Amino acid sequence: MVPESNPARRRCSRVESTDGAQRSPSSPSSPLRGRSRRHGLTAFGAAIAAASMLAAAPLAANAASLAVTSASAAAHGARSMPTETREVTEVILRVAPTIATSIATDAPVTFDVEIENATSEPVAAGTLRLVRSAAPIDDTAELDAWLAQAPDAEAPSAEAPASDAPAAEAAELDGVDVADVPSTTVAPGAVEVVSITLPPEAIDALDDSPVLGFGAELFVGGTVVSSSTEVFANAAAPVTSSTTVALAVPVTVPASAAGLLGADDLATWTSPFGLLSRQLDAVEGRPVAIGIDPRIIASVRVLGTSAPSTATSWLERLAGLPNEIFPLAYADADVAAQAQLGVPALLGPTSFSDVLDPANFSGTADAAGENPGEPADGDAVPSATPVPTQPAAGEVPTTEDLLAWPYTRTDIAWPADDTITAGDLAFLGTAGLTSSILAPGNVVPAEQWVNAASNVDGSSAVVADGRLTAPLRAATEAVSDTEWRAATGRLGAELALLDDGGADQPATLLATLGRGAGTQSARVSATLDELAANPRVTPASLTDAIGAPPVARTLVDEPEDRQRIDNVDRILRTDANVTAFATVLDDPEDITGPTRRDALALLDVAWLDDRPAWDAAVGEWLVAQRRTLDAVSIVPSSPINVVSSETGVPTTILNALPYPVTVVVDVRPSNGRLVVEDQVEVEIDPESRSTVTVPVAAGIGNGEVTLTVSLTSPEGVPVGSPVSIPVNVQADWEGLGAAIIGVIVVVFFGVGIWRNIRRHRKRKAEAAETEENDDADAAVETDAAEPAEADGSARVPEAEQTVARGDEQGDGRRDG
C-alpha cells in the first residue's frame, strides 16, 4: 500500500456494520432495501425533510455559488486540454475497499468512502448511502452503464464556463442500498473518510458476477449532493485464462525552455529521492518498456568530469536496467506538429560544442587503456561518459558520442495523445520511425480485445487499449489512497471481463502511462506491482506487441490546434533563419547548437498541458532570436557629398555578438551618377564597431543618388537590414576647381614676374640718371679747377665761401 499523499485535511468517521444494516438519523429503522422502496415520504416525512432542508442552509448557499473547476482528463486516457484557473466548487465522492483492490464475496468487506469538499463553503451533515449493482456485471456494456450513472466530478468539460448558478441536483443511483450512515459537516477544502463494513450476505446476490459494482451517494436535506460509482473484480471468481499486456512508460523531466538540463537540476533530480531517481525506482525490475528523453543522457555527458556524481551514477544505473529502452525525440519534441507542418526532416540537435570544456575531458582515460573515468594514479574521477560509450582518451566527445546509447530499438515514435492526422504516420516512417504508439482516441474503436499491433493509414502502429490505459493512468496519477484503490480496482475489473470470455481469441494488448506519470512515482510502482500480481495478466515486451499480427484500424484525424501549429511554424522558421545567419561566424555551431536545442525544448509535448506558459515561453524565445539576428548591423550614416570622380563611402558596422564575424559589404547606387567598383569583405571583432570604406567612382552627370548598403555572409546569406545613404554628386567641381587654381597660380606668378621686370627697369633708369649726374658734377669740378691752377692758388667754391662767411659771422656774434 502506498502512503497517503493527499495534502488536504482529513477527518475519519468509521461506522462499522456487523448485521448488514445501517441506521440513518432520519430513518431510525432503515434495513437493507431495494431501490423500489426508497423515499416513500408521508406528510410527516415531508415536514421532517423541510426541516432538514433548513438545517442544510450552508450547503445550499454553497451550491448557489458552484462553478466548474478545470481538471485533468488524463484519468480517462484523454489528452489534457488548456485550462484556466477557476474557482473549485465540487463535492467529490470516492469509494473503494479499505485494503484490497478487489472484493471477496465470501467474507466481510470494508469500504472507505472519501468525501472531498472542494468548495468555499462547508458541506452540512447529512446521510451517506452505499449502493451496489442490482445485477451481475459480466460484460463491458454493463460495466460502462454502471459507471455512467455518476458524472465524473473530477474531469468536467473544458468548455464549461465558471458560473455562480446553483449546481444541478445529482441523480440517484439505480442499485440496491446496502448501508446508510450519517455524515458530519465537512469544512471547505477538507476531506472526510467514512468506513463502512458489509457482511458477506450483503452481496450474496453477486457471488457469480466477475465484476462487482459499488457506489456512494451523499444526501443533505434529502438532496443528492454528490454520487460516485466504481467497479471491482470478484476475488472469489475462478481464473481461467490470462491476458498478454505490454506496458510503455516515459522517463522525462518537466517542460522547460532549456535545451540542456543544468548541473543543479541534474543533481536534484538524480538525488536518491529526486524525480529521475524515483522514475527509475518505479520501473526497475518490472516488465515495462522505457521511452527516454535523450536530452537527459546528453545533459549529463556534456559536463564531463564536472557532472554531479549522482547524475553519472544515474546513467550507469540506467545502462544496467534489463528493460527495453527506446528513445523519444530529443527533449520529447512534438513529432506530430512537425509532420503537420511538412518539415523536410524531423529536427534533432546539431551540436554541443558551445558547452564542451576540454578541461572536463582530459582525464576520462589514459594512454594505457585503463578504465575510463579513473586516472592512472588511482584517484577516482566521475566518468565523463558512462557506459556504454566512451570518447577517446583526452578527446572532447562528438555529438554522436553524447547521444549514443544501446537502445533496444530506435524505430518507435511516441507522439502526444490524440495529435496524429492523415499522412503523419507516413512522414514519421520516412524519418525512420516505422512504428508509432498511438492513443486509443486516435483510432476508431475496433472489436474489443484485439492486438495492439495495427495497420493505420497505411502505416505500422501499436494502439494503446483504452479500457486498460484509462484506469492505469488514473491509478498512477491518484492523489489519495482511496482514489488509487478505486482506479486500480477498475483496472482489475476490466481484466476480469477479459478472463470471463470477453475476448474470443488471445491478444497482445498495450497500455501506456502519461508523460507526467513520473511525478507520482510511488503510485506508478504500486500500480505496476498490482498489475504484475494479477493472475489474469501475462507480461509482454513492447517488441512482442509490435510483432503481433496487425489489425486494420481506421485513423481518427486529430490535428493539433491551429494556433499551436502557427507558433511551432514560427519556431522552425526562426531556427532556419538563425542557421543561415550563423554563416557569418567562423564556427556557426556556436549559435546554431544552442538555438536548435532550445527550439526542441519548446516543442516538448509536456507543454500541451500548460498552453499559457508555453505561449509566453515561445514569445520570449522569439524575441531573443530576433536580437541575435539583429546583432550584426549597419550603423545609419548622414548624407554624403561626392565632389571627385573617385572616392570611398565610409560604412560603420556593429557586431554585438560575443564572437568575431566576417561580412561582405555591398553598395548599390540608385542611378548611374555613381559606380561601385567592388564589394568589401571585413572582419569585426566581438562586441565592437568597425568602419570600412567602399570605393565608388563618379559616373555621368551630377545630382542626387541613394546608396543602398547591405551586408551578407561570405556564403551570400543576407545579414541585417539594408541601410539607405543619400549622396549629392558634384563631380564637375573637380575640373572647375583645378582651372581656378591654375588661373590663380598663373596670375600670381605673372604679377610677380611683371613686378620684377618693372623693378629691374626702374633700377636701370635710376642707375643711368645717377651716371649722368655724376658726369655733370665732374664737368663742373673741372671748370672750377682750371683758374686756380693758373695763378698758383686754389679757387674755393662759392658755396664753401658762403658757409665760411656764415661761420665767421656766427663767431663774431658769439664774441660780442
Q: Is residue 503 part of a domain?
A: no
Q: Which of 163-172, 426-435, 673-682, 737-746 has the highest mean pLDDT?
A: 426-435
CATH number of the CATH domain containing 719 = 2.60.40.10
Domain ends where: 586, 605, 629?
A: 629
Measure the CA angle with vertex 794, ends 788 and 795; round to 5°: 80
> For residue 159, what pLDDT is reported?
34
Same domain, 612 and 715: no
Cα 651 from Cα 633, distance rounded (Å): 11
Same domain, 663 and 614: no
Cα 532 from Cα 20, distance rounded (Å): 34
Same domain, 170 and 27: yes
Of 517, 410, 509, 409, nearest to 462 by C-alpha is 509
Measure the CA angle with vertex 207, ends 206 and 210; round to 5°: 80
Q: Is residue 140 part of a domain?
A: yes
Residues 6+ apart with CB under 8 A from 337: 419, 560, 564, 565, 568, 603
> For residue 774, what pLDDT is reported?
66
pLDDT tens readout for residues 233-262:
999 898 888 899 999 999 999 999 999 999
Of 550, 473, 548, 508, nearest to 246 by C-alpha is 508
Q: 680-684 and 661-669 as β-strands: parallel, antiparallel, unpaired? A: antiparallel
Q: What DSSP assignment string belongs to 609-632? A: G-HHHHHHHHHHHHHHHHHHHTSE
Averaged pLDDT of the chain: 79
DSSP 605: G
Q: Does 431 have pLDDT greater than 90?
A: yes
The model's pTM is 0.76
Q: Does 684 have pLDDT greater than 80?
A: yes
* Distance in Å from the first CA to the final CA of the chain: 164
**Element containing residue 667 per DSSP (H, E):** strand 661-669
Q: Is residue 691 part of a domain?
A: yes
Same domain, 51 and 194: yes
Q: Is residue 661 part of a domain?
A: yes
> For residue 693, what pLDDT is reported?
86
Q: Is residue 281 part of a domain?
A: no
Same domain, 97 and 209: yes
- The pLDDT-based confidence of 674 (bands split at 50, 70, 90) is confident
Q: Are 545 and 508 in contact (CB under 8 A)?
A: yes
> For residue 706, what pLDDT is reported?
84
pLDDT greater at residue 773 or residue 715: 715
Residue 775 belongs to domain spanning: 735-807
Same domain, 90 and 35: yes
Residues 6+ apart with CB under 8 A from 677: 695, 696, 697
Q: Which of 38-52, 363-377, 489-503 has the highest mean pLDDT?
A: 489-503
Same domain, 568 and 696: no
Same domain, 799 and 765: yes
Cα 147 from Cα 14, distance rounded (Å): 26
The SS3 assignment for 144 reads helix
Same domain, 595 and 653: no
Q: Is residue 679 part of a domain?
A: yes
Same domain, 31 and 90: yes
> For residue 640, what pLDDT is reported?
72
Look up residue 407 and give its three cell numbers. Answer: 537502445
Residues 6+ apart with CB under 8 A from 305: 360, 361, 363, 364, 373, 381, 382, 384
Q: Is residue 607 part of a domain?
A: yes
Domain ends where: 629, 651, 678?
A: 629
- The pLDDT-based confidence of 575 (bands split at 50, 70, 90) is very high
Cα 794 from Cα 800, distance rounded (Å): 13
Cα 418 from Cα 557, distance rounded (Å): 8
pLDDT tens readout for residues 70-97:
333 333 333 333 333 334 458 999 999 9
Of 685, 621, 680, 687, nearest to 651 by C-alpha is 680
Q: Considering only 63-72, 338-347, 378-387, 516-525, which range has the smallest mean pLDDT?
A: 63-72
Report the b/e string of 738-758 with b at 16+ CB within 10 A: eeeeeeeeeeeeeeeeeeeee
Q: Does 481 have pLDDT greater than 60?
A: yes
Cα 175 from Cα 231, distance rounded (Å): 13
Domain ends where: 731, 762, 788?
A: 731
Same domain, 91 and 37: yes
> For residue 15, what pLDDT is reported?
42
Q: Is residue 69 part of a domain?
A: yes
- The pLDDT-based confidence of 319 (bands split at 50, 70, 90) is very high
The SS3 assignment for 339 reads helix
- The pLDDT-based confidence of 761 (bands split at 50, 70, 90) is confident
> For residue 672, what pLDDT is reported?
64
Same domain, 85 and 180: yes
DSSP 161: P
Q: 126-132 and 176-183 as β-strands: parallel, antiparallel, unpaired? A: antiparallel
Domain count across the chain: 4
